[in-house]
Structure 1
Amino acid sequence: MKLRNLSLRTRIFIAMILLVLFASIIIASVSIFQYNEETRDYHEQRLERKERAIQRHLNNVIKETSYPVATEKVNLIFKDELNKIADIHSLQINLYDLEGSLLKSSRAILAQDTLQQCLSAEIINGISNTASHRYVDIHEENGETYQSSYTYLTDNKFKPIAILNLPYLERDDFLARELGEFLMRLGYAYLLVLIIAIGIALLLSKYITKSLQAISDKINETRLEKRNEKIMINDMSEEIFTLVSSYNSMIDELEESAVKLATSEREQAWREMAKQVAHEIKNPLTPMRLTVQNFQRKFDPNDPNVTTKVNEYSKTLIQQIDTMSSIASAFSTFAKMPAQQNENLNVVEIVKLALDIFNEDYIVFTYEKENIIAKFDRTQLIRVVTNLVKNAIQAIAKTDSPQIIVHVSELNGNVIISVADNGSGVSEENKNKVFEPKFTTKSSGMGLGLAMVKNIVETYNGTISFESEKDNGTVFKVVFPKA
């Protein structure tokens, strides 16, 4: 999962835990580095202390010897004393002449074959070319680290008579054990800190994002068609306060815009409705006017057929008056919102009842099962079905082999009614206008049928949609909840 897909609260939590882990790793690394530095300093200082003590001891032997103090007499001077000094200080002592050849060692004679019998030029030069006349060689052997110090052994007048070598093995058992115990304690402490950090991170991330979550919830609930509540949060940070103030200002502007939009839409709807009503009423008024004018011009009281002509004129006027009445009824029905009736209906039976008024033999009714119960108004459901079927019949008027399939099913607690035809279909330019009031592609009619169906379905929290292909037919689908 990508980090950018995580919530802010999760990212804050992860960041805090990673920060604690990173700090723990840094502290542990610094501790181990410090231990290694202290260990190296400890061994260097211990070797220096041993070296100074042995040199003092050797100098005392030189002061008390009866032999001439010279390089060739070193074996005799330290014949019995070298091993004693080595035992006292628990350290091996090797003496070389100034050319680097081994003179005497505290190690057993049988083991001297393993000693370095002659010093390298690097060691000799290192001793002679430094101000302290001291050289330390560090090397590893069999996995263990050795330090060997080389320095001059001088006579009473500080003249070098030999090279003193002290091999020193770095034994870290005790220090390594101390480090292991320290790291174990540190690990327990880090584990406790990590547990505490997880708890604090959860609480802190929740606290930080609490205000943002409240704002997010309010924004998700914001709707243009309803009154939106402002956000009221106490103890806000400056950034959150700015965000909340901006949201509350937006709500005020949104309500003002919604009022203006609603007013504008109502005015526009009334203008459109007025134009449509005027247009529909003018259609029957024109033949009525012509009929009356013709009656005035041709009326003759002495005409023997005067009664027949009066009846014809009256019949024409009555037909046009009935047309105007149907127009008024249609607009009244469209304007009236259907009332929701909590009536349990078997949708299959109601749809079958609605289809009984049609005599077309190409209408096929199918259903998933015989009983599909839902809460709906019986009259409104019949109106939905009849309008969709009428629309389908008009769409297949010019089709050679017409067919209309009405199907009822249920899915996920919803009732689905589909009406499919194999008619001419809906063109691309008209697809966005299908559910608009007064839109029609027929020469007669007011274009209120599908708009009325949409109005009814949405009143019951349902939806209506369609799929259409030019010259291949159209499928209208109505979906509404069962309860």
Structure 2
Amino acid sequence: MKLRRFSLRVRIFLSMILLVLIASVLIAAVTIYQYNQEAQAYHRDRLERKEENIKRHIDFVIRGTTWEVITEKVRLILKDKDEIYKIADIHQSQIDVYDLEGGLIISSKSSIEGDATTECLSANILNALSNTAEHRFVEKTIFNHQTYQSSYTYINDHKFKPIAILKLPYLENDEFLNKELNEFLERLGYAYFFMLILAIMLAYFLSKYITKSLNTISEKIKATRLEKRNKRIEIESSSEEIATLVRSYNSMIDELEESAVKLATSEREQAWREMAKQVAHEIKNPLTPMRLSVQSFQRKFDHADPDVYQKLDEYSKTLIQQIDTMSSIASAFSNFAKMPAQQNETLNVVEIVKLALDIFSEDYIVFVADEKEIISKLDRTQLIRVVTNLVKNATQAIVDRKDPKVVVSVMSEQDMVKITVSDNGKGISEENIPRIFEPKFTTKSSGMGLGLAMVKNIVETYSGTITFTSQKGRGTIFTVIFPKE
């Protein structure tokens, strides 16, 4: 039976067991390989140390001899006072000395079983010694299931001229390392046996939990009713749980709730855009002639009443102020309805955000930047508009605080620019959170409620995102993320 025919619960169970088994095999293999590498390095280093120490001892003997230091006298030098036997005994190693033609000159008693001292070295060994930069050659042989290494190197006179060839046989005794490896593998086996038992128990309860969750999801989907039906999902073969989930989806889910919410939000925003265009058009038409008429009337009016000018001046100022208010309302609607054409400029976001904060005189506004320069392609005016709207909202949220604080930060995250505006104000209530970006929604007694909706429109125009987190009574953090390119 194919694996896909098994239930999801069985797949999870088998996967976890297989994972533990594969991990145990891989770790055991890596351990054996590592031990073998360490053993080879240990024998290689030990032979090199032994060779170096014996060569130093022989050099000491040569420096103290009265014989002429030449190849023909090497046997006499090393045999004098039984020096070769002393060296072999001190270093616990057999020593064979050959002349430069490969003929045996002198040898200590063989201490390694199975190692036969040859009377003449092969041409390969002689060539390797003379042609390599180290003037050293190591030969590895196997005898009676035991591995032997023999190193060959030159013995030099006082002027570093070769006078003989030194051979050091060495037995690779791995009994201690093999014993240590076996003990480690045994302990590893106990550990993984325990892990296997634990994995079986964990897989059982985890698979049971996951399949229970899937069944719960299936029941939730069955309880959902939407008017529009989506394309059906067709799967020829699957596990029992997945098949149940797909059948529930095909029979009950016709429209995603998230899509419906997005569609409704889009329709509301479109309606407000159309209304904003009409309101802006109707209000802006009479504003300019009204302002010109009032100003002209103010300049030309002349009457004997000494107070009439003051009254007319106050009236004119009041009327102009109201006209300006109407103009700002119309501009707010117009800005929301149709954003200015996008102008991509290469900007230093840190500098622009700092510039946007210059219009605020409050001491509790703090600016923080991780870097002095963060470059991105944005519209200068619209970026300033985003920052000023968010900071203005933050300052309005902390009017009742004894220790108000607004922190504006700019940072770079890989290929994105992140701007955060945080305050320690009253926060946003849970019922208002879903509506915070809706046009004309406001919790203030004044204002049109278009600020955050306009900010969201600008941010999304540049393929960015705006999110927020809020805690009632502790403050709110708005986060804007723009791509750098």
What TM-score comes out, normalization by structure 1 length?
A: 0.45
Rg (Cα) greater in structure: 1
Which structure has more RCO (C-alpha within 8 Å, separation ≥ 6)? 2
